[in-house]
Amino acid sequence: MYTPLQPSNPSHRLYTPVAGYPAARGRPIAVLSRGELRRAVPALPVAFRREEGGVTMVALMGLTLDRNFFVQDGGRWLGSYVPAAFRGYPFGLASGPDGKYVVCVDENSGALRDGPGAKALFEDDGQPSGFLKQVINFLQQVQADQQATRAAGAVLDRHGLLEDWPIAVTAAEQRIPLNGFLRVSETALAALDPAVLAEVRDSGALDLAYGQIYASNNLSVLGRLAEAHAKAAEAERARLPSAEEMFAPEDISFNFD
């Protein structure tokens, strides 16, 4: 549960990093920003989708709503790039009652504790520590970049450059559909009037367009990861003794003497 960080709260005094990204295991979709494209495009499938605030750019990392295939059971990240939305965890920004943003933390993250490499979140006078200032700066940069990315996405949408994307990923010889996502229409992009193309370029939306197009080739990675996870789970089940083996008659004896 995310709650505002408070220097008066004893449990908000220390932060110890949690190994890997276990909290991302159940999050197969992450919002991406334009500043992440250079590293995200070679590593992750990228799409657009409509949300309440407009069009957002997202990374696709699973085939169901509750499983991120880029995270192993122990939290180890399997890809070459971790989205900023996960790297900022367990911290986040939320709009306060006065319209200003406040720093929040997930109290269920297991990171608000003392331990090896623990970082103080506040100074003795209650002011943010140097570490927390770095966290705040990172969160603010990510938020600003995401806002700029949504603005660029609106430009793509306004000029009819986004279309429904009928995604279907092959895994274990099955075609698994993913619904509700958008992609850039290469046909519409190629037909743009030069003046409109200049507007799209100057707004930064052209970077998003080409980034999404190039990253669409990574959809096959989802299928391969799905198969790898399924094989790992099958191997794990094979290592576990069956109920019959666990309770075989020769293994059980009762002594009433």
In a domain, 112, yes or no: yes
Domain count, the chain: 1
In a domain, 197, yes or no: yes
Give the pair of three-digit tokens for residue 245: 């083996």
Domain of residue 12 covers: 2-248
In a domain, 48, yes or no: yes
In a domain, 257, yes or no: no
* Neighbouring-strand partners of residue 102: 94
CB 173 within 8 A of CB 41: no
CB 19 within 8 A of CB 72: no
In a domain, 172, yes or no: yes
User: Residue type at 194?
Assistant: P
The whole-model pTM stands at 0.86
CB 183 within 8 A of CB 47: yes
pLDDT digits (tens, 9 = 90+) for 140-194: 999 999 999 999 999 999 999 999 999 988 877 788 889 999 999 999 999 999 9
DSSP 126: S
pLDDT digits (tens, 9 = 90+) for 47-98: 999 998 789 999 999 998 889 999 998 899 999 999 999 999 999 999 877 7
In a domain, 117, yes or no: yes
pLDDT digits (tens, 9 = 90+) for 1-18: 799 999 999 999 999 999
In a domain, 161, yes or no: yes
In a domain, 253, yes or no: no
Cα 150 from Cα 41, distance rounded (Å): 18
